[in-house]
Chain A
Amino acid sequence: MQYKKWRCLICDYVYDEELGAPDDGIPPGTRWEDVPDSWTCPDCGASKDDFQMEEI
């Protein structure tokens, strides 16, 4: 299955499933649905529901 990217609607930070967010303890390859609901955008603090899947 291809990795997907999710963009923060507030600040445009991109969560790339392939890269994860290692700084926040989310290893590379973590699918969006497996990112905990408590995770917030590292740049602006928005919550997961403020992200939208990005078409590639």
Chain B
Amino acid sequence: MTAPITVLGAGHAAVTLARELRKLDAETPLRIITADDGAYYYKPDLSKALAAGKDADGLIKQSPDQLREQLNAEVLTQTPVTRIAPDEHAVYAGDTRYDYSRLVLALGAEAIRPPFPGDAAARVHTANHRSDYAKFRAALQPGARVLIVGAGLIGCEFANDLAAAGYAVTVADIAGWPLPRLLPEVQGRALQAGLEQIGVQWKLENGVQSLNLSGDAIRAEFGDGSGAEFDTVLSAVGLRPHTALARDAGLECALGIVVDAHLQTSAPDIYAIGDCAQIGGRLLPYILPIAHAARALAPTLTGTATPAKLPAMPVIVKTPACPTLVSAPADVPGAWEVSGEAPDLEALYKDENGNPIGFALTGKATAKRAQYAAQMPPVFDPAA
């Protein structure tokens, strides 16, 4: 019996890949091994679930049994893989060995947990998984004062969702405006103002210095010397791709697990996709790149080597208080050109040669997505 195509992880990347695979090949044995409960959900829903009144179970789209049936796959849940052995064409979960024909790493990323000084660090929540959301939601008392650390995409989305659900939200960040890496200042200010209008308070240019218990509350000290009390703290300072397993197995890793145009890692028959992977020098921790990558990887796994070509893939920031859409430029020198009137602003990022390589739209300008997207170079082009 041949060993199955094996996928580590059961998140959006793993499931999208498995679905694409089954469109091409209904029968080749497929095994999915995941550390979590294997219930499939759509992760972007996490940051709009509170206002929608959904608990963690309400976000489940497919149970493991439904996945087994729809994907004609073996799905091993609560099975954290502890070692990849490329020489043996096998992975291990503790002492149990699982042989693979081809292996796909869809391990995702972990929320970074900054080491906050103080005795309340253990009360800090993150929100990168459905299980995190379950704990966070359970900790929220009606009308709670919530401190969000980090004004990035996930921090801003939760700020909007929490405020819309009636919580008192403060967002702290050492940056001067929200989404500092994705928006020029004027647009960041528009987003800031939009969220302010629904009650969000800001502590910008302010790091959280310490978090200490104060009765049932948590007292935060900020960089400017001020302090305030909160009931719940959510850390949204960023994600770190899950590279440890790959690194230990000798696979090339940088920011993430390094893959080539065929999504192959530095080891034969091992591929990576989703938040754990790095392609063309970049992490692309979003939904649309997964769809494009899966459509290339599925035929590659079934015998037709197909390079991934990734177009520009704008991301909608789920902040209805100020609609925002970003197509992040690569990390190269350049400058934003902004036009329009707040909050309806359009910004184009041009590199030093004047080529447009990124854009951001806020307010009514978000309607111009297609027009801007058409000017963008591909994010990854195997021919280049």
Contact = CB atoms under 8 A, between A and B. Distances in A.
Which secondary structure dominates chain A's binding surface?
loop
Nearest to B20: A47
B39 to A, nearest CB: 15
A10 to B, nearest CB: 6
Contacts of B287: 11, 43-45
Given A10-B42, A11-B42, A44-B42, A23 B370 contact: yes
Given A11-B42, A11-B44, A45 B370 contact: no
Interface string B1-31: 0000000000000001001000000000000
B149 interface: no
Contacts of B291: 40, 44-46
Interface in B19-65: 19, 42, 44, 61
Interface in A3-56: 9-12, 22-25, 40, 43-46, 50
B195 to A, nearest CB: 22
Contacts of A46: 291
Name the interface size band of chain B. Answer: 10 to 19
A43 B369 CA distance: 13
Contacts of B19: 50
B90 interface: no
B297 interface: no
Contacts of A22: 370
B316 interface: yes
Interface string B277-293: 00000000001101110
Interface of B: 16, 19, 42, 44, 61, 287-288, 290-292, 316, 369-370
Interface of A: 9-12, 22-25, 40, 43-46, 50
Given A22-B370, A45-B290, A45-B291, 8 more contacts: A10-B42, A11-B287, A12-B42, A23-B369, A25-B370, A40-B291, A43-B316, A45-B287
